[in-house]
Structure 1
Amino acid sequence: MSKKTFTEKEIKQLSTNPYVKVLSTKAITYTDEFKRIFIAEKEKGKFSRQIFEECGFDTNIIGMTRIQAASKRWSAAYKKNGVIGLNDTRKGHSGRPRERDMSLDEKNARLEAQINLLKAENELLKKNSFCGKGAKEVVLSPSQKFILIRSVIEKYQLKNMVRYLCGVAGVSKSGYYNYFSLKAQERRKHREARDEEVKEIILNAYRYKRRKKGARQIKMTLAGKFKIIYNLKRIRRIMKKYNIVCPIRKANPYRRLMKATQEHSVAPNLLERQFNQGEPGKVLLTDITYLSFGRNSRAYLSMILDGASGEALAYHVSDRITMDLATDTLQKLKKNRKFKKHKDALIHSDQGTHYTHPEYQRMVKRLGFRQSMSRRGNCWDNAPIESFFGHLKDETYFKACLTLEDVHKEIKQYMIYYNHHRYQWNRKKMTPVQYRDHLSQAA
């Protein structure tokens, strides 16, 4: 079929011809009378173009491609079925005889082909899905269906079944043939090679500093350290395609139940969850967590975190959860030369015994901090440091540590990585140290 389309002016001119039955921008349908005249004149030895012109058609508008295609089509129909073969059979018109009814063998062959296709589809769905409550329904993509159809045709040596099986699978025949064309295969091969290159780049960011990362961390690491900008959707697509899995932090289902309903303040809750006040050194968050390592061994980590920049300011590790765990962390904060205390600085903690102890509270006052405490049993009042501990446990390898000294080394490496190399999505995609400097310059 000719790809030439008719303009409004050409349509208007052609529609005046009595031999035109239906006309659109892409196609023209002639009357049965014109077809009979054409065949009669053709048998007299006239050329196709001459016949069209004698019947009032502008052959330059129609184009010789259309004229030759019509001539070939009508001649074949006339040779096969005579004059009746030239009649238009669409929309209930009588004309060319319908194709003969299928034989029983053909019907059986189609039914068998359909059953084999459905069996193959079932097997593929079983491989790609899992059974269980809440499992999502798996839907095959068009490309998977094309591959499935070809495999069934080749396996059972089916002939003339492409159109039928495409109809059963709900895909187009043209799409099927296009998928297996040389051009399409070359395009897929090129895309696969490009994805392989991107995968290696993403893996470099994923493994950077020996810390596994999610898609957002990978995006920020690529931009910050490798000067490569990738769309977040692209990163997620590649990770899904090559099964690059980041540590998944599952939400604690009991956290909501832990919300306190009654105020109980040993020290008043001065912070009221205003963790990030945009000024480094103003809000300090502290807490203690345990770390399992080796064979059933346990260490304890005390941390002080800056609420604005997220920077880890001081930490102390011990194999005993004594009072020294909290007070030694304060001493290390005092020795941190890069830490600049805000004039209205406060240190916020939960109501653990370390923080309610008179010795700890006296040290806090000597250092010039105000003291603030969360409500009893309410982890949301100190959420940032709880989140920090969660990331630390996901991204470190304490199970490989055999001694407390190994734990010290692993935590030291992580603190350097966290402060200088781990980008924060909600902090302008900067590392904590970069964001601290950014806030200091803006002040």
Structure 2
Amino acid sequence: MVSYLCEVAGVSRSGYYNYFSEKSQKQRELKDEKDEVVKELILKAFHFKGRKKGARQIKMTLAGQFGVVYNLKRIRRMMKATQEHRVVPNLLNREFKQDVPGKVLLTDITYLFYGKGQKAYLSTIKDGSTNEILAYHVSDRITMDLATDTLLKLKKNRNFKKAKDSLIHSDQGTHYTHPDFQKLVKKLGLRQSMSRRGNCWDNAPQESFFGHFKDETYIKPCTTLEELKREIKQYMIYYNHYRYQWNLKKMTPVQYRDHLLNAA
């Protein structure tokens, strides 16, 4: 069968096996991760000072403002790949607390440094009204899966009940402007909202959660990704079920969610 497929595709057997080897897969994953970082920087340069730019202006802005040097060919290739990315309006407008569970969802990604210089990424979806973490995903790669897998985990969360006119709010990062993410948001029946560029206050509760998370978890001592995932899982259980919060009438997020549902 392999020989037949190789003949039809016009590739050698050695080329076929090399493409699907563990080494080749890791190389492709590394390239995808680097491309996401490059896309993010190019988009920042493209939107710098609110003025659209051509490839040459982007190249000079990258060098002058961000200290990064890419050749024009690479910039043009990346710009072509990001043409379908779409920024959406800020529908939330900082109205985080609407006292309706499942109505305001906040999402973001943060870096985690652990062990001996290892780096991982944490993506979360937080309920703006109850502060409950409804879904999260941990990865050692910052590819699109990081954001889309978090959405899929939200879908699987049996305790999550989508409210009327619910929306998911994020920054303007490439994960959230990506067509794949936006299609999945629509498939889940959610509206999408984005912070204004460079305005961290538009998603302040999510930033606040990451601050508490990094203060209260034991991330640095973890030596493997699996160990890191276990620590994060234990903290998420603690945070949702046992961490009392002053602004939730001294309840935990889960208690406050039940309180709002019973009061409705």
- Measured against the shorter chain, the TM-score band is 0.5 to 0.7
CA distance in 1, matches of 2:203, 2:51: 15
Question: Shift of the alpha carbon at 1:369?
Answer: 0.2
Residues 1:357 and 2:162 are matched in the alignment? no
The partner residue of 2:139 within 289, 296, 318 is: 318
1:383 Cα shift? 0.3
Counterparts of residues 81-230 of structure 1 (less than 5 Å)? none
In 1, Cα distance between the equivalents of 2:135 and 2:178? Answer: 20
Aligned residue in 1 for 2:211: 390
Please identify runs of 4+ aligned residues in structure 1 that moved more than 4 A.
Answer: 260-265
In structure 2, distance between residues paired with 1:376 and 1:420 = 34
CA distance in 1, matches of 2:128, 2:191: 15
Q: Which residue of 2 aligns with 1:427?
A: 248
Query: What is the number of residues matched between the two proteins?
Result: 184
SS at match of 1:372: strand
1:159 alignment partner in structure 2? none
Query: 2 CA distance for matches of 1:278 and 1:263?
Result: 38
Q: SS of the residue aligned with 1:365? A: helix
Partner Cα separation in structure 2 for residue 280 and residue 372 of structure 1: 17
Shift of 1:283: 0.2
Secondary structure of 2:220's counterpart equals helix
Match among 114, 129, 134 for residue 308 of structure 1: 129
Q: Which residue of 2 aligns with 1:375?
A: 196
Helix, strand or coil for the counterpart of 2:248? coil
Where do 5+ consecutive residues of structure 2 fail to align? 1-47, 53-85
Any idea what the Cα deviations from partners look like across 1:371-411, whole Å, max 9, x if unmatched? 00000011100000100000000001111100000110000
- Contact 1:263-1:376 within 8 A present in 2 as well: no
Q: Does 1:438 align with 2:244?
A: no
Pick closer, same or farther for the CA change 1:386–1:369 going to 2, 3 Å. Answer: same
- Find the aligned partners of 1:386 and 1:288 in 2 and give their Cα distance: 10
In structure 1, the partner of 2:226 is 405
Max radius of gyration: which structure? Answer: 1
SS of 1:309 mapped into structure 2: coil
The higher relative CO (CA closer than 8 Å, separation ≥ 6) is in 2
Matched residue type, 1:357: H
Distance 1:274 1:388 in 2: 17
For residues 398 and 338 of structure 1, the distance between their equivalents in structure 2, rounded to whole angstroms, comes to 27
- Using the TM superposition, give the Cα deviation of residue 261 of structure 1 relative to its aligned residue in structure 2, in angstroms: 9.0
Q: Give the C-alpha shift of residue 345 in structure 1.
A: 0.5
Superposition CA RMSD, Å: 1.7
CA positional deviation for 1:366: 0.4
- Is residue 2:150 matched to residue 1:329? yes
Give me the TM-score of the superposition, normalised by structure 2: 0.68
Pairwise CA distance, 1:263? 11
For residues 426 and 335 of structure 1, what CA distance do their matches in structure 2 show? 28
Aligned to 2:235: 414
Taking the aligned partners of 1:434 and 1:423, their CA distance within structure 2 comes to 9
Counterpart residue identity of residue 276, structure 1 = K
Contact 1:287 1:385 in 2 (8 A): yes
Q: State how far apart, in whole Å, the 2-side matches of 1:314 and 1:261 are.
A: 34
Equivalent position amino acid for 1:344 in 2: D
- Name 2:108's counterpart in structure 1: 287
Query: Counterpart in 1 of 2:15?
Result: none
- CA distance in structure 2 between the partners assigned to 1:333 and 1:261 by the alignment: 35
Residues 1:412 and 1:280: Cα distance change in structure 2 (over 3 Å) = same
Distance 1:410 1:328 in 2: 19
State TM-score, norm by structure 1. Answer: 0.41
Given that 1:263 and 1:375 are in contact with CA atoms closer than 8 Å, whether structure 2 keeps it comes out as: no
Distance 1:390 1:261 in 2: 28
Deviation at 1:321, TM superposition (A): 0.3
| Partner Cα distance (2:50, 2:165) in 1 | 28
**Matched residues in 2 for 1:398 and 1:439: separation?**
33
SS at match of 2:101: coil
Structure 1 359/419 Cα, relative in aligned 2: closer, same or farther at 3 Å? same
Contact 1:300 1:320 in 2 (8 A): yes
CA distance in 2, matches of 1:263, 1:441: 49
Q: Which residue identity is paired with 2:234?
A: Q
